[in-house]
Amino acid sequence: MKFGARILKTGIAISLALFIAQLCHSPSPSLAGISAIFAVQPSIYRSYLEILQRAQGNVIGAAIAIGFGLYIGNDFILIGIASILCVAMLIQFKLENTIGLALVTLVIVMDSPNSDFLMVALTRFGTIMLGLVAAFIVNLIFLPPKYEVTLFQFIYSTNDEIMRWIKLNLRHAADFPLLKKRHEMDAKADYTNE
The one-digit pLDDT tens for each residue of the chain (194 residues) are: 466 677 888 888 899 999 999 998 888 888 888 888 888 877 677 778 888 888 899 999 999 999 998 898 888 899 999 999 999 999 999 998 889 889 998 998 888 777 788 888 889 889 989 988 998 888 888 766 666 777 778 888 888 888 877 877 776 655 556 556 666 666 666 555 55
* CA-based nearest residue to 11, from 19, 114, 180: 19
Task: Quote the DSSP letter at residue 87.
Answer: H
Integer distance in angstroms from the first to the last C-alpha of the chain? 17
The answer to whether the CB of 131 falls within 8 A of the CB of 35 is yes
Q: What is the pLDDT of residue 103?
A: 92
Q: What is the pLDDT of residue 51?
A: 84
Q: What is the pLDDT of residue 66?
A: 92
pTM of the model: 0.67
Domain boundaries, the chain: 5-141, 147-193
CA dist 186 and 65 (Å) reads 61
The answer to whether the CB of 66 falls within 8 A of the CB of 51 is no
Q: What is the pLDDT of residue 1?
A: 43
